[in-house]
Amino acid sequence: IKFSEIMPLVARCLHSGHAYFMVNNRYVAEAQNEALAAGFRFHNWLVWDKSTGTPNRWYMKNCEFTLFVFRGAANPINDCGSRQLIKCPNVIGGEHETQKPVPLMEHYIGNSTSPGQTILDPFMGSGTTGVAAVQMGRNFIGIEREPKYFDIACRRIEEAQRQGDMFIERASNG
């Protein structure tokens, strides 16, 4: 799926509010250009420091980039002391090859929503965003085209609904 297909669809779902798109360094320009073309307005680029690196011929990749955009009014984030660099250990041996840590998703959700609001993840994978959303008292809509991951996500979200927030390590800014 291409950003030129994704961005207009997400923009139609979000009339007002924040959106986060996680990409590796190869897709930074394309993601931003397509988001702007779809009617999003640019807030910032955020960087997730994974603490671990993926071997590479040039430099080990130890971070991911998050395009932080909005539609409607330019509302501030809930914690204006948050920084662009977010340090949070990568998930090792997770249930999806690009699984994100729950504390990272909690950080983004907590900065852009309030309890009772709805979170949409159009690429749900193993359901990390859904887990974070339900633990934080948000409603969640997830879309995943791979049945295997859809089933994993449903199981993880149902477990999170039953369990609640049990001392999950938080992401740190710095």
Upper half-sphere CA count for residue 3 (Cβ side, 13 Å): 18
Segment 102-143, tens digit of pLDDT: 999 999 999 999 999 999 999 999 999 999 999 999 999 999
DSSP string, 67-102: EEEEESS-PPPS-TT--SEEE-PPPSS-SSTTPPPH
pTM for the model: 0.88
Question: What token pair was written down for 46?
Answer: 């955020």
Q: How far is CA 128 from CA 62, 109, 114, in A?
A: 20, 12, 18
pLDDT, one tens digit for every residue, the chain (174 residues) = 799 999 999 999 999 999 999 999 999 999 999 999 999 999 999 999 998 877 778 888 889 999 999 999 999 999 999 999 999 998 888 888 888 999 999 999 999 999 999 999 999 999 999 999 999 999 999 999 999 999 999 999 999 998 865 544 556 666
Burial of 94 (0-12, 13-18, 19+ CB in 10 A): middle
Cα–Cα distance measured from residue 122 to residue 106, given in angstroms and rounded to the nearest whole number = 17
* % of residues, the chain, pLDDT over 70: 94
How many whole angstroms from its chain centre is CA 67? Answer: 10
Cα–Cα distance measured from residue 94 to residue 116, given in angstroms and rounded to the nearest whole number = 28
